[in-house]
Amino acid sequence: MKINPTLLGFIKKEFVQALRDPRMRIMLFAAPVLQMTLFGVALSSEVKNIRLSMVSTHNDRVLQETYQRALSSGWFIPANTKHVDPYLQIQSGEADAVLVPPPEGLTNALERGEGRVQLLVNASNVLRAQSVEAYIKGILPPVALKEMRLDKPPSPIVFDMRIFYNPTMRTAVFMVPGVMSMLICLITILLTSMSVSKEKESGTFEMLISAPVKPQEIILGKTLPYVILGLSNIPLILGVAILGFGVPMRGSFLVLLLASLVFVCVTVSIGTLISTITKTQQQSMMAGFLFLFPAVQLSGLMFPLENMPGWMKFLAHINPLTHFLEMLRNIMLKGGDLEVILYHLGVLIVMAIVVVWYSFKRFHSTLG
Per-residue pLDDT tens digits for 132-184 = 877 888 888 787 777 666 555 555 666 667 777 777 667 777 777 888 888 88
pTM: 0.70
**Of the candidate ranges 27-36, 165-174, 326-335, the one whose mean pLDDT is the lowest:** 27-36
Whole-angstrom distance, CA of residue 317 vs CA of residue 262: 16
CA distances from 153 to 59, 112, 122, 142, 161 (A): 20, 12, 29, 9, 20
Residue 10's pLDDT is what? 45
Are 177 and 132 members of one domain? no
Are 84 and 183 members of one domain? no
Instruction: Tell me, yes or no, whether 336 lies in a domain.
Output: yes
Number of domains in the chain: 2
Angle of helix 61-72 versus helix 126-148 axis, rounded to 10: 130
Whole-angstrom distance, CA of residue 196 vs CA of residue 187: 15
Are 198 and 149 members of one domain? no
Are 57 and 198 members of one domain? no
Last residue of a domain, one of 134, 164, 194: 164
Instruction: Tell me, yes or no, whether 9 lies in a domain.
Output: no
Instruction: Tell me, yes or no, whether 363 lies in a domain.
Output: yes
Q: Would you place residue 40 in the very low, low, confident or very high pLDDT band (cuts 50, 70, 90)?
A: very low
Last residue of a domain, one of 138, 164, 190: 164
Are 226 and 286 members of one domain? yes
Instruction: Tell me, yes or no, whether 41 lies in a domain.
Output: no
Domain membership of residue 159 as a residue range: 50-164
Are 196 and 75 members of one domain? no
**Of the candidate ranges 23-32, 113-122, 232-241, the one whose mean pLDDT is the lowest:** 23-32
Are 201 and 280 members of one domain? yes
Whole-angstrom distance, CA of residue 61 vs CA of residue 110: 11
Assess contact for 199 and 207: CB atoms under 8 A: no
Instruction: Tell me, yes or no, whether 15 lies in a domain.
Output: no
Q: In this predicted model, what pLDDT tens digit does every residue of 214-236 receive, in sequence order? A: 767 777 777 888 888 888 888 88
Are 238 and 278 members of one domain? yes
Mean pLDDT to the nearest integer, 122-141: 79
Are 252 and 151 members of one domain? no
Instruction: Tell me, yes or no, whether 62 lies in a domain.
Output: yes
Instruction: Tell me, yes or no, whether 246 lies in a domain.
Output: yes
Are 106 and 222 members of one domain? no
Last residue of a domain, one of 131, 164, 197: 164
Whole-angstrom distance, CA of residue 92 vs CA of residue 282: 45
Instruction: Tell me, yes or no, whether 18 lies in a domain.
Output: no
Assess contact for 121 and 132: CB atoms under 8 A: yes
**Of the candidate ranges 29-38, 84-93, 128-137, 317-326, the one whose mean pLDDT is the lowest:** 29-38
Q: In this predicted model, what pLDDT tens digit does every residue of 261-289 receive, in sequence order? A: 999 999 989 998 888 888 888 888 888 88
Are 119 and 194 members of one domain? no
CATH of the domain at 118: 3.40.1710.10
Are 317 and 176 members of one domain? yes
